[in-house]
Amino acid sequence: MGKRKSRAKPPPKKRMDKLDTVFSCPFCNHGTSVECRIDMKNLIGEASCGICQESFSTTITALSEPIDVEWIDECERVNTVDDDGA
């Protein structure tokens, strides 16, 4: 009598890399000065620069990550509105 063949264990699941919460500032170009905070209770995401004190707040959803709060799109929108008005 022989042993029954056992099934091979499935390979372990790969972990996703964590996304950054610190970015470079588009205004003062200082690296790693913008810190993003997410308040899930109030559904508000805030990005603020520690060097030039610029800040940006936006509404978030339950699926939002710190990289979603980044204000690059908002900066471009404001700059195009300023260029059109001048």
**Cβ neighbours for 22, distance < 8 A, ≥ 6 positions apart:** 32, 33, 34, 35, 36
pLDDT score of 84: 59
Is pTM beyond 0.75 here?
no
pLDDT, greater one: 12 or 76: 12
Residue 79: strand, helix, or coil = helix
Q: How does pLDDT run across 1-33, given as a tens digit for each residue?
A: 677 777 888 888 888 777 677 778 878 888 888
First-to-last CA distance in the chain?
90
Q: How does pLDDT run across 30-74, given as a tens digit for each residue?
A: 888 888 888 989 999 888 888 888 888 888 888 887 777 766 666
